[in-house]
A and B are shown apart, each in its own frame.
Chain A
């Protein structure tokens, strides 16, 4: 068989649409079949072949999702996520509640992430709703955990679905994604036990640092910015976010780190443009709600429901 390195490279890229397990078992064989069907000197896959490959990959992914199998790296990332979210909220909430180091929190409290993420208005109830679910999953009461976790997620989602181009709404959309993802993570991941296995001491340090950073209210008025103009302050905030995310990437196992970053990307972006610091124009907010928030929400709710149903089916089958 003649070597067709360019074509083979392109076919391999298309195979990325297939689950990793399937690629591992059948990838080489598929490349062989694809190259066998290629014309001499062909450098690009035919569009119909490419589309067919993508469809096949999606079909196989969908099938494994419906039978309750999610990619293990993704479920590992979700397991870590299910711990990170409560810990960050706990730390930032505790700082806010005591108001010790950040005493201007109480005046400008509506800008802190902590305030943003308590749409119910009752701090202790909210804390319970954040902390209890992972504990319940630990104690094997997964259904109760998911139901509890959905309460704050539902409130934030209702707030976000006002769908007006205001910073409040886009802030709620960030919370909605963050909390909905938490519910999905609790529903379909191996749980906090697995997450704890994956969190090394350096990773814990990063998570705690993220909690501290999340407690800071990012407005131009606070003393944190020492009268910096908004543009410089944005750079500082951006720098903090990038540093925390990069640190997470470094301290977590490679594939898990990447997936956590991609899970957090949309909520962090949405929260970022909700800050009065940034002063986002309402057109950007509208586009972000339509193009970032709604598709991400739909995607994760669908994945969560299908994986949950598949999991139930599998549990029932094995008794």
Chain B
């Protein structure tokens, strides 16, 4: 059904559908909120209910408008740039691993590894310089670590080592 038309034309329908589901879930859990006796408008439950219903209405509008846009679009797909979503997911994954490591290896080591990996992956293939990146990563993290923990007195995640 969606094959002939570019993603742009049905992205609104997708978004509307997503927010509709979100608002239904949000509404469902709003009913879990305790109503304090004597509270005005039911206390903590009021706002979530209002927001979720408003979200449902808006989702509906977005889907309708999105469908009109989809129906009108004449299927021209203009791939301006090939979608690099794989790279985005990779970077996200690396960040997730970094945060997980913060608890084990501590700030200094985790950040050095993270910085190194990030720079190497983001650099253009021809610009990847191993030694330079290692030096930048290590020195930057050491400076940042001492500047913030000793200099500014902030506490940074401690691992098993540093």
Q: Do A and B come from one complex?
A: no
Listed in ascending order, the chain A residues whose CB lies under 8 Å from chain B are none
Listed in ascending order, the chain B residues whose CB lies under 8 Å from chain A are none
